[in-house]
């Protein structure tokens, strides 16, 4: 589905002295792959370039070097091919839940009526219909994330990029969201690329995990997670789980 080959990105940042610029290499020859229907996570230290990688895949920014292929076709620097849920939920406080959901579709030029119909159907399914006329401030953190996710789904692309969608949630809500995400993922047979800081979360959800190094980010390892599905919380105390966790921690901190 997605193939990234030797992707590099440099940012120009202002140096201390006026008028001088410094080049900072953020991504250094990143290569990775996501197969159709796979759930792949990316973990790495804060500031290493994970969100930058998503900005490149979505076409918001352009790399200096490397290629991004989607289903065999080069899309490097092009927008409009993937659904992208940004690191912050970015719900607009002056729009209702329903109208927040349709924001992306509406910007693509679809009529409000059509957008609202589609969004309402998904809201029903995601048990959010009681809130469709509420404003975001009336929602809990988990609900806000579900609304932001629903908006991402409505963009209706085959590849979903999710940047730390549950980063700000408490442990209990987070684990509820995991169950929920797994059910949505298997129902819609989505292909997901997922950024997280949480190693247990990555192991619980993923088929495969890429560990990135500190900046400039390089791929340290790609780890297969061969744990059976459907997965439950009980898995977290199993031997195989801890073995994988050890490998991940070693790769992250070595």
Ligand X SMILES: Nc1ncnc2c1ncn2[C@@H]1O[C@H](COP(=O)(O)OP(=O)(O)OP(=O)(O)O)[C@@H](O)[C@H]1O
Interface residues with ligand X (CB under 6 A) are 11, 13, 26, 46-52, 87, 215
Q: Rank residues 49 and 142 by Cβ distance to Mg ion and give the closer one.
A: 49
Assess contact for 223 and 244: CB atoms under 8 A: yes
Assess contact for 115 and 106: CB atoms under 8 A: yes
What is the rounded CA–CA span in Å between residue 20 and residue 119? Answer: 49
Measured from the CB of residue 189, what is the shortest distance to ligand X in angstroms? 27
- Non-local (6+) Cβ contacts of 186 within 8 A are 230
| 51 lies in the site for Mg ion, by CB under 5 A | yes
Measured from the CB of residue 118, what is the shortest distance to ligand X in angstroms? 31
Q: Rank residues 60 and 130 by Cβ distance to ligand X and give the closer one.
A: 60
Measured from the CB of residue 163, what is the shortest distance to Mg ion in angstroms? 6
Q: Rank residues 142 and 216 by Cβ distance to ligand X and give the closer one.
A: 216
Interface stretch with Mg ion, choices 6-14, 47-55, 146-154, 170-178 (CB under 5 A)? 47-55
Least Cα distance to 224 among 252, 250, 192, 247 occurs for 247
Measured from the CB of residue 58, what is the shortest distance to Mg ion in angstroms? 13
Measured from the CB of residue 46, what is the shortest distance to Mg ion in angstroms? 8
Assess contact for 59 and 83: CB atoms under 8 A: no
- Residue 6's region, left for phi above 0, alpha for psi from -120 to 50, else beta, is left
Measured from the CB of residue 45, what is the shortest distance to Mg ion in angstroms? 11
DSSP string, 181-243: HHHHHHHHT-EEEEE-S-HHHHHHH-SEEEEEPSSSB-EEEEEE----SS--GGGGGSHHHHH
What is the rounded CA–CA span in Å between residue 216 and residue 50? Answer: 11
User: 174-178 — which CB contacts under 8 Å span 24+ positions?
Assistant: 174/198, 174/201, 175/233, 176/142, 177/142, 177/145, 177/146, 178/204, 178/205
Question: Of Mg ion, ligand X, none, which one sits near residue 26, judging by CB under 5 to 8 A according to partner kind?
Answer: ligand X
Question: Of ligand X, Mg ion, none, which one sits near residue 47, judging by CB under 5 to 8 A according to partner kind?
Answer: ligand X
Interface stretch with Mg ion, choices 79-87, 93-101, 107-115, 205-213 (CB under 5 A)? 79-87
**37: which 2 tokens?**
């229907």
Q: Rank residues 132 and 206 by Cβ distance to ligand X and give the closer one.
A: 206
Q: Rank residues 65 and 87 by Cβ distance to Mg ion and give the closer one.
A: 87
Q: Rank residues 25 and 236 by Cβ distance to ligand X and give the closer one.
A: 25
Interface stretch with Mg ion, choices 49-57, 88-96, 209-217, 237-245 (CB under 5 A)? 49-57
Chain residues in the site for Mg ion (CB under 5 A): 51, 87
């Amino acid at each position: 589905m997605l193939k990234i080959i030797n992707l590099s990105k440099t940012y120009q940042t202002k140096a201390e002295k006026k008028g001088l610029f410094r080049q900072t290499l953020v991504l250094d020859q990143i290569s990775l792959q996501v197969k159709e229907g796979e759930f792949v996570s990316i973990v790495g230290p804060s500031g290493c370039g994970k969100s930058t990688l998503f900005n490149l895949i979505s076409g918001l920014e352009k790399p200096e070097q490397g290629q991004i292929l989607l289903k065999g076709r080069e899309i490097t620097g092009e927008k409009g091919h993937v659904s992208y849920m940004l690191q912050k939920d970015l719900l607009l406080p002056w729009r209702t839940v329903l109208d927040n959901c349709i924001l992306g579709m509406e910007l693509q030029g679809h009529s409000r009526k059509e957008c609202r119909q589609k969004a309402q159907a998904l809201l029903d399914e995601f048990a959010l219909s009681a809130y469709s006329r509420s404003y975001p401030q009336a929602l809990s953190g988990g609900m806000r994330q579900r609304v932001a996710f629903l908006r991402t789904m409505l963009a209706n692309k085959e590849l979903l990029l999710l940047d730390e969608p549950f980063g700000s949630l408490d442990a209990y809500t987070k684990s509820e969201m995991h169950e929920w995400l797994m059910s949505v993922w298997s129902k819609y047979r989505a292909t997901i690329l997922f950024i997280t800081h949480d190693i247990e979360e990555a192991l619980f959800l993923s088929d495969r995990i890429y560990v990135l190094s500190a900046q400039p980010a390089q791929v340290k390892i790609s780890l297969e997670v061969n744990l059976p599905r459907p997965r439950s919380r009980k898995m977290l105390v199993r031997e195989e789980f801890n073995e994988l966790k050890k490998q991940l921690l070693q790769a992250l901190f070595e």
